[in-house]
Amino acid sequence: MNDDLDVVAFAEQRYADWPNGIRANMVMSLDGAAVFRGRVGPLSSSADQRLFHALRAMADVILVGAGTARVEEYGPAVLDDELGALRTRQLGASATPAPRMAVVTRSCSVPAKSLGHLPGVRPIVITTSTADTSPATELADVIVAGDVQIDFARVVDELRSRGLRRILCEGGPTLLSALTEAGLVDELCLTLAPMLTAEPASVGSDSVVPSTNPLRAPLRTTLRHSVTHDDYIFLRYAQRSAP
């Protein structure tokens, strides 16, 4: 891939066909770390960041664990004019101006910044029936999905019932693991960063407990594409059972 990559055009060409299940997006170092000194940013590149926002532009909702939202200081997903035009082309003129943010937390403890919102784009908090939801109800729509643990199949059903079918998971690793165990991740968009970190592959706690039904064997995926730019490798994998 050449250095003057038009990332938005690339994203529209290579990622517009959204899977039926969840699409996950993450960056990883060569030694398997998802962060450097607690943050994802040092692993990323300008092209990776642009692709990150382009994938957001084509999503109905962004699913993120509360721990990741806190560490990465998540706020509303703001799109510039080019990304807004991409969103309109992919989702239609009636789409909300940006994807909704859905924060997953068993305790309903959500960073205040993550509950900020754009006009017409109200955030969502996904939690359990044992949590005190009162602090979140004024600022977000609350989805109760499970008693002690999150029922992720129910989460997907609840989001779809609200017309939110294009679900983009941005992690962290704990949430991604739980969704994978539940058989809900159809696609992984992985950026392999040309870096070594000597860091563990985690972003703190997502306040999510993985399912009690761990995988019996690794899931086999199919490589949809592999594109190199500035020594970064942009990989798109799909579950073999996914369309």
List the domains of the chain with CATH numbers. 19-197 (3.40.430.10)
Closest-CA residue to 14 (of 77, 78, 81, 86) = 86
Closest-CA residue to 71 (of 192, 159, 174, 141) = 174
Determine contact, residues 133/127, Cβ cutoff 8 Å: yes
* Confidence check: pLDDT of 31 > 70: yes
pLDDT-derived band at 3, boundaries 50, 70, 90: low
- β-bridge pairing 141-144 and 22-28: unpaired
Model pLDDT, residue 203: 47
- Cβ neighbors of 99 (< 8 A, separation 6 or more) are 56, 57, 59, 60, 61, 62, 77, 121, 166, 168
Please count the CA atoms within 13 angstroms of the CA of 237 that sit on its side-chain side.
15
pLDDT digits (tens, 9 = 90+) for 121-159: 999 999 999 999 998 998 999 999 999 999 999 999 999
- What single-letter DSSP state applies at residue 185? E
Report residue 159 as tokens.
């989001």
Q: What CA–CA distance (Å, rounded) separates 78 from 182?
A: 30
Q: Which residue has the tokens 């969103």?
A: 87
Q: Contacts by 80-89 with C-beta closer than 8 Å and gap 24+?
A: 82/8, 83/8, 83/53, 83/54, 83/56, 83/57, 84/57, 86/8, 86/11, 86/12, 86/54, 86/57, 86/58, 87/57, 87/58, 89/12
Q: State which H helix or E strand residue 8 sits in.
A: helix 7-15
pLDDT-derived band at 231, boundaries 50, 70, 90: very high
Model pTM? 0.92
Q: Who has greater pLDDT, 241 or 196?
A: 196
